[in-house]
Amino acid sequence: MNKVIKDGKVAVLVSYGWGAGFHTWGAPVEAIFDPTLVDLIEKKHIQDAILYVQNTYPNAYTGGIDDLCVEWIPEGAKFIINEYDGSESLQLMDATDWLTA
């Protein structure tokens, strides 16, 4: 899987807006790391990003693309993307204080 890596950090796409997620609404894991999509989002070429996703990941929902942001996380870090009401959030495994019952 291709990824954008700079200074030991990996680019991950997360859709923070309300109403529709990206990865949590069906975009495959490859899409959140896709170098072409990362570039389009960084340049704010949203319409090009939507067309790219439609052509590259035809089963992905494109509603969350306009709210995508590039997050840089340490290479090798474990994370999940959570969603509430369409708004995604990135949660790093090592940065979470887990409760014990």
Task: Spell out the long-range contacts of 32-40 with Cβ–Cβ below 8 A and sequence spacing 24 or more.
Answer: 32/81, 33/1, 33/2, 33/3, 33/4, 34/2, 35/2, 35/3, 35/4, 35/11, 37/13, 37/68, 38/4, 38/11, 38/13, 38/70, 39/4
User: CA-CA distance, 30 to 101, in Å (whole number)?
Assistant: 35
Predicted TM-score of the model (pTM): 0.91
Domain parsing of the chain, residue ranges: 5-95
Task: Report residue 66's pLDDT band, with 50, 70 and 90 as the boundaries.
Answer: very high
Residue range 7-43, pLDDT digits in tens: 999 999 999 988 889 999 999 999 999 999 999 999 9
CB 88 within 8 A of CB 15: yes
